[in-house]
Amino acid sequence: MSAQSYVMARQPASEVLVIGAGVAGLATALAAAPRAVRVLGAGAPGGDGASIWAQGGIAAAVGTGDAPAQHAADTLAAGQWRNDPVAVRHLTECAPDVIDWLERLGVRFDRDGDGALLLGREAAHGCMRIVHARGDATGAEVMRALTRAAARCAHIAVVPQRRAFALARTADGRVVGAWAWSGQAVELWPARAVVLATGGYAALYRHTTNPAGNDGGGIALALAAGAAVADLEFVQFHPTALALPGASGQLPLLTEALRGAGAVLIDGSGQRFMPAEHPLAELAPRDVVARAVAARTLSGHAVFLDARAAVGAAFPEHFPTVFAACMQAGIDPRTQPVPITPAAHYCMGGVRVDADARSSLDGLYAVGEAACTGVHGANRLASNSLLEGLAFGRALGQHLATALPGAAGAALPCPRTYAPLDAATRAALADVLWTHAGLVRDEAGLAHAATRIAAWRATLAPDASAADLLDLAAALIAAMRARRESVGAHWRRDVRAAA
């Protein structure tokens, strides 16, 4: 029986509907006071999306000798100067205030013996500017504080276990809510403003650091409604996920802060190889490190992250999340090098938005990884992701608090039948994207991927919600085919690297 044959329920209207309960969604909701906000979360409260898995910290120019302009310069360089410089300047200038705001909400950042913020360094940063919480559990700590703060706010109602699968629109095209599946009913959630904070699409790949829900669902429903998207070809692969034999889906992440602390990459013979690849060696931009690791693994050589000398006995204290994951896999990182593999990690592309987070559709906004603000360019600088979700989410909430769109009109009937992509096709899609749209691509492989996706799409009913996910995958492939250069996180073996 299809989901659509169940009861259809209209929920009470709200002023702001936020789809996604990660850091971007909760930051938006908190800052939107006193507007009545409903937040639809796909999972349980406090555990929604990829935010909770973020091991890296939050980049902010709060240290002695650092400045937002230097943070901006590093962000532009990592993005291969494809970034929007205005968005970058806004992000880096408001970063210190974001840290202060989080502390006021109860986030417990790591500090040294004198009480100063304990700063770390990650790839492509020119200095120590990464603020961490609980070592390598920054995302979890930030989510704890935001979830607790939202629960105390009378203007916010968090509704868990809801999967939005279509945007509700009026006859003139305005977005006035969303249709969601509750597990028992199709529900219409009306609102004057709809905010997508649903994360990226890295979980579409066979190997990823993201939870399964980060499959681009929010971007897919925006695309289906006609919203403009941008930069879908820029998919960042983290170079150091824990390599588990035969594993697919979400792999444990080995935070970049390990390399910032001095851990090195070695091959099976124990030799470092990154010094020959880039002047910054292990601290080169992620795309450079990931391709270097992939080149060796694809040729049949094992690659390891060696933190024995740099971290050693301090592992349980300084990197408790990584330590637990390694020990669970039977590896003691204090005394053993850790086997690694690249994995799809972060998507620079998404719903195209302006400086106020507005999409091309009236009434629809997007923040966090679901949005393309232009701040990341061709490759995201490490630890700018939590920062972006928090900074732009907070700014959007403040904007909606004073400039909410007019009264919502009547929604047209639901345009989709809730019918998720079947498991077999979903797994086959993950393999196709990993093989042909992964770290290194070419026209032949991308054309093959496009053909496979079109064949799967042709088997679905025109109104099945699963079609939207395949349409997103098709748009991803089309973007990769259209960009005839190798730059940042988009690398093609059949074209020249960008100047």
> Which amino acid is it at 337?
P
Taking Cα atoms as reference points, which of 371, 367, 368 lies closest to residue 350? 371
Give yes or no for a contact between 251 and 301, defined as CB atoms under 8 angstroms apart: no
Residue spans of beta strands (DSSP E) within 81-121: 119-120
Taking Cα atoms as reference points, which of 392, 365, 381 lies closest to residue 91? 392
**Dist. CA 187–CA 172, nearest whole Å:** 22
- Dihedral angle at the C-alpha atoms of 151, 154, 155, 157, nearest 10 degrees? 50
Residue 286 annotated as catalytic = yes
Taking Cα atoms as reference points, which of 433, 430, 441 lies closest to residue 291? 441
> Which amino acid is it at 73?
A
Name the catalytic one among 286, 291, 380, 457. 286
Give yes or no for a contact between 255 and 265, defined as CB atoms under 8 angstroms apart: no
**Dist. CA 461–CA 181, nearest whole Å:** 18
Cis ω before 34 (30° cut-off from 0): yes
Q: How many residues does the chain have?
A: 499
**Dist. CA 452–CA 245, nearest whole Å:** 27
> Which amino acid is it at 132?
H
Q: Which residues are catalytic?
A: 286
